[in-house]
Structure 1
């Protein structure tokens, strides 16, 4: 099973008008994650803009991360179809080796039999453990909690679920009560406190202050709800600000740039860039957290 705690979801930095992968910034970013005390990293996820990377760029990202830190890794697969997912997982295995804690595979069908067969085929073809990501905003697939439980029950190679179907606390409660696997929240940490209260094993997300995620989860582990609430409160306005639909990715990358972790904050088209009207407010939020 995936170790509980915070699995930081890593952005892919770009540079210049051609949006080349910035390996130097990437190395600096994952070093920061390691220093904050995260359990592991999630690479080539939605926040990593993996769907906009070539296979060669994905390899370069993985190689940079592996060469820079010694953390365990979850590596995302972008496709919903079995054959390309298998190819992506094999690439991850080739580069990451035994540090691959799990391949993150998206829910691809609301039919539990179709989903179970998909996950089983990926595992049988690769031997990889699987982290199941339920993220309907990205996949376009909406599955009920009961159907997801039915799909995953008995699949012993599933080592975690990433629950990102709102309302996430309800989803976490349903999944943790029915499955013997850790369930992690995402969505920038906006529901983290409530997800922990409903049984989440931690967070797997790309909030620009991973030290805040770590502080909240560690406080929950040691002191329960009140301690976690106290630890998380200073970050909540920024969490909310970052989660604005359509520009969340651009906001987070600019936060990371202003923190000195990225050289540039560009997002690859067709993703939306940061609106000029939000720049001053972003500076206020960052000043408050610092």
Structure 2
């Protein structure tokens, strides 16, 4: 979901917004799912996408990211990106904010992606620095300023050096977030997470699944976790436990999630996520080449890890900690 600057946020005391003033800056928080793009026989599986989006809405997650790394966004055509966006937005019918990932080597190409999607009712865009080029800090600032000029919607920074080859320092992130249109950062580095989480002027969402518990217990605003595709209700509960100071129960629940989380990146993303969803009968495990489906060995390990998760009927902290 989104909260405003006027709403208090201190450590675990995160409150859902009940209304947003038009002039207020909006910032994301909570559990955001970086949605996969379901496929069948080389084409988009739009009914499958709608089922997924509806299930995440019902599970109580706070937002969706589409067309990002986990969504194979860079492998989709302009038309596919548009029809997928339309299908997801229709499925959540305004009850869940949806951000779209945009990214490329060339800043002009990123701005073109924004122009192609800006007619949709999106909550904003998740934007990494240009990949491969490794620009200076001044070049990164220029990049984000140009993308911001291409839309009136909020931007979320995406700091993922292992994919872009370009690391944004805490100082650079702070300076970028001083621009009102840039609302938050998805941070994938443990070092930056530790530095930024206690900065009252920075909204940082954890993009590293293995670090999400530490981030939430430290008072982080939220997470964008590929593993939250599987049993999103448990991730929503984990957030609630952390926010309400029930740290022992949060650690106990995370311990049950950890075996699955550890497998989500055992092979290139999003193959493990799609394989786990396929085991649940939700979508096909198909990925788009050159990405390959998960190996049979990993599928077996995923099935074993999923069998260890608490059943849907478990609701009490005592059961989760058992």
Indicate yes or no: 2:76 matched with 1:53: yes
User: Residue 242 of structure 2 corresponds to which residue in structure 1?
Assistant: 220
- The superposition leaves residues 67-94 of structure 1 with CA deviations (integer Å, 9 ceiling, x where unpaired) of 1113111110021422111111122221
CA distance in 1 between partners of 2:194 and 2:219 (Å)? 6
- Which position in structure 2 is the counterpart of 1:118? 143
CA–CA distance in structure 2, aligned partners of residues 29 and 211 of structure 1: 13
Aligned partner of 1:277 in structure 2 is: 297
Superposition RMSD in Å = 1.8
1:159 aligns with 2:180: no
The 2-side partners of 1:120 and 1:248 are apart by: 29
Superimposed CA distance per residue, residues 4-62 of structure 1 (whole angstroms, 9 cap, x where no aligned partner): 1111111001102xx10000111111111101101111111100000000000000110
Question: Residue 172 of structure 1 contacts residue 198 of structure 1 at CA under 8 Å; is this kept in 2?
Answer: no
In the alignment, structure 1 residue 6 sits paired with structure 2 residue 28: no
Structure 2 distance, partners of 1:114, 1:179, is 26
User: Any gaps of 5 or more consecutive residues in structure 1?
Assistant: none
1:107 matched to which residue of 2?
129
Q: State the SS of the aligned residue for 2:119.
A: helix
Per the alignment, residue 280 of structure 2 pairs with 259
Q: What is the Cα deviation at residue 173 of structure 1?
A: 2.5
Is the 8 Å Cα contact of residues 157 and 186 (structure 2) preserved in structure 1?
Answer: yes
Per-residue deviation at 1:137?
Answer: 2.0
Structure 1 pair 288–179 and aligned structure 2 pair: CA distance change class (3 A)? same
C-alpha separation in 2, matches of 1:195 and 1:281: 27
1:229 to 234, 251, 256: 251
Deviation string, structure 1 residues 195-224 (Cα, Å, up to 9, x no partner): 223442111122132222211111111124
Cα 1:139/1:25, change in 2 over 3 Å: same
Please give the TM-score of this superposition, normalised by the length of structure 1.
0.89
The total of aligned residue pairs comes to: 278
Question: What secondary structure sits across from 1:2 in the alignment?
Answer: strand
Residues 275 and 299, structure 2, Cα contact 8 Å, conserved in 1:
no
Structure with greater helix percent: 1
The alignment status of 1:137 with 2:162, answered yes or no, reads yes
Question: Deviation per CA, 1:229-267, whole angstroms, max 9, x where unpaired?
Answer: 1232211100011221x33421110111111221x1111
Classify the secondary structure of the residue corresponding to 2:202.
Answer: coil
Aligned-partner Cα distance in 2 for 1:118–1:259 = 40
